[in-house]
Chains A and B, each alone.
Chain A
Amino acid sequence: MKLVMALIKPFKLDEVREALTPLGVQGLTVTEVKGFGRQKGQTEIYRGAEYQVSFLPKVKIEVVVPAALVDGVVEAIAKAARTDKIGDGKVFVLDVESALRIRTGETDTSAL
């Protein structure tokens, strides 16, 4: 099992979800986050006081999938989230040791 963690532009969330559903992804977790990468921040000005806002809002998607699906999932996320402009985000893949569905007690891939 693999954990796919993607940081994307917030307005791309729905497209990413729609791209993942046909691949058999049964669920995912979304968090609103802030961060910075190569994309420059923005300047806000309030009555002459300028603030450099370097942390920009992003959405973090976390989805655990069987190892066989991981390439397709990463590709689908990358394709759906791409705008070709700076700040499109990143995708990370991590190993997952185990999984458990709390209600039924199912484990590992059957718990996904």
Chain B
Amino acid sequence: MTRMPARALALAATAMLAAAPALAQDEAATPKIDTGDTAWMLTSTALVLLMTIPGLALFYAGMVRKKNVLATMMQSFTITALVTVIWMVAGYSLAFGEGNAWIGDFSRVFLNGLADKWDKPFSLGSGDAAVATTIPESVFLMFQMTFAIITPALITGAFADRMRFSALVVFNVLWSLLVYAPVAHWVWHPNGWIFALGALDFAGGTVVHINAGVAGLVCAVVLGKRVGYGHDNMAPFDLSLAVIGAALLWVGWFGFNAGSAVGAGARAGMAMLVTQVAAAGAALAWMFAEWAAKGKPSVLGAISGAVAGLVAITPASGFVLPGSALLIGAVAGLSGFWGATALKHMCGYDDSLDAFGVHGICGIVGSLMVGFLAYGPLSATAALPDGTSGGIGQFITQAYATAAVFAFSAIATFVILKVTDVVVGLRVPEEEEREGLDVTQHGERIA
């Protein structure tokens, strides 16, 4: 009902334009904000935020011991607030400002210039390389903000139970600006060198998952093992929280992947379908693998498998068909199971909640597999009518992009950790770790 006056207005406007042909032509040449696309992107943005709070907060908090539950939730919650401000102040400008092949610039600090075109459709980049959208920039930058939020939040799983809260804050500010923003620019800005390379990353296999997973691995190695690791009982406090968290991640992932179509079209629909199929395939693969290897199909295994599948389908989601998604999911479920149960113990690092074992490993799996499995027509554009199809050439491009992000994230994270250690100290003292982060860092505890 509320739409009626708007329709009437539009009709009247069309009639007026018809009476003025020159004006009508101008109007046709300028892309318009599409309300359907914008509505879906507003929804997607909310879904992706839901993945971090409360999704990831619950997923991680359910897996730690009782004395660290609040501190673990606080990490996701604080990162949400912190990255929002960082993104507004400089992160968005460094990631999506014009800049060069390596990084954006400072032209958009404090979202400078947003007000000038606030009601015009946003176009990313400039000149021939520009990628036009049908949504306002406010929605684009807010959608991207939720990705910038969840990425550092994923890392917290690697250093759970032992990092100082002050260190988390310092690390997060530096990492968001010096690691996340440049990598997002490389991969998603038309000027970025990985974008130019033609590497496929629909929703963040490299930018989000490999980036966060590798950073997590470096954190686990640099911070060292938890006190009592391998000896004390570190059984999760309440896996029911983790189940709720994983379920919220799963649902939120529709915003993450289908939202990365930046519109409400057929590609978004296909992205949502393959997301669901890959998550299911991986949940079953992990569950059956664990059942066969350890004798019981664990709840933690099933939910970890679902997340592994969601991670792996992320880079592939706008490029593959459901059959490929099932394959990616199955491989991801087995790889994640191996990463979290075998690789970690083999190498002897304490990636407490398997940020690398799940996000790093499965991010790599998805980023590489899409190189073979991409179905061209899904990514066809006017400039590239055949789209990008899988093949050995594309696979090599994917491997190159994966290796580049892996190496940069590892080195940059290492340096940032060392700087953070000098500034505030990375790790809580041993007695505080035994007492738990809830009381020692925040002065609170759950029942």
Q: Which residues of A contact B (CB under 8 A)?
A: 44-49, 51, 53
- Confirm or deny: B236 has a beta carbon within 8 angstroms of a beta carbon on chain A: yes
Task: List the B residue with the shortest CB-CB distance to A44.
Answer: B235
Query: Are the C-beta atoms of B235 and A48 separated by less than 8 Å?
Result: no
Residue of A nearest to B234 (CB): A49
Residue B324 interfacial (CB < 8 Å): no
Do the beta carbons of B296 and A45 come within 8 Å of each other?
yes
List chain A residues, Cβ under 8 A from B304. Answer: 47
Complex CA–CA separation, A46 to B233 (angstroms): 11
**CB-based nearest A residue for B341:** A48
- Known contacts A46-B235, A47-B301, then 6 further A-B pairs from the complex at CB < 8 Å, ordered by chain A residue: A45-B298, A46-B63, A49-B234, A51-B234, A51-B235, A53-B235
6 closest pairs, A vs B, by CB? A48-B341, A47-B340, A51-B233, A51-B235, A45-B294, A47-B341
Given contacts A47-B304, A47-B340, A48-B345, contact A53 B233 (CB under 8 A): yes
CB distance from A53 to the nearest CB of B (A): 7
Interface size class of B (residues with CB under 8 A): 10 to 19
CA distance A56 to B165 in the complex (A): 35
Residues of A within 8 A of B201 (CB): none
User: In angstroms, how far is the closest chain A Cβ from the Cβ of B426?
Assistant: 23
Residues of B with C-beta under 8 A to A51: 233-235
A53 nearest CB neighbor, chain B only: B233
| B235, B296, B344, B354: residue with the most chain A Cβ atoms closer than 10 Å | B235
| In the complex, B300 has a CB within 8 A of chain A | yes
B266 to chain A, nearest CB (A): 38
Bound complex: CA A57 to CA B141 (Å): 53
Interface of B is mostly: helix
**Min CB distance, B14 to chain A, in Å?**
60
**B290-322 contact mask (Cβ, 8 Å, vs A): 1 or 0:** 000010101011001000000000000000000
Q: How far is the CB of A45 from chain B (nearest CB, A)?
A: 5
Closest to B295 in A: A45
Interface flag for B342 (CB, 8 Å): yes
CB distance from A35 to the nearest CB of B (A): 16
B331-350 interface with A by 8 A CB criterion: 340-342, 344-345
Instruction: Give the residues in chain B near A45, CB-CB below 8 Å.
Output: 294, 296, 298
Q: Which one of A46, A48, A53 contacts B236 once the chains associate, using CB atoms below 8 Å?
A: A46
Task: Give the Cβ gap from A94 to chain B, nearest Cβ, in Å.
Answer: 33
14 example contacts (A-B, Cβ-Cβ < 8 A) are as follows A45-B294, A46-B63, A46-B234, A46-B235, A47-B301, A47-B304, A47-B340, A47-B354, A47-B357, A48-B294, A48-B342, A51-B234, A51-B235, A53-B235
Shortest distance from the beta carbon of A88 to any chain B beta carbon, whole Å: 25
Residue from A44, A46, A47, A53 with most neighbouring chain B CB atoms (10 Å): A47
Query: Chain A's nearest CB lies how many Å from the CB of B59?
Result: 13
Residues of B within 8 A of A46 (CB): 63, 234-236, 298, 300
A15 to B403: give the CA distance in the assembly, Å. Answer: 64
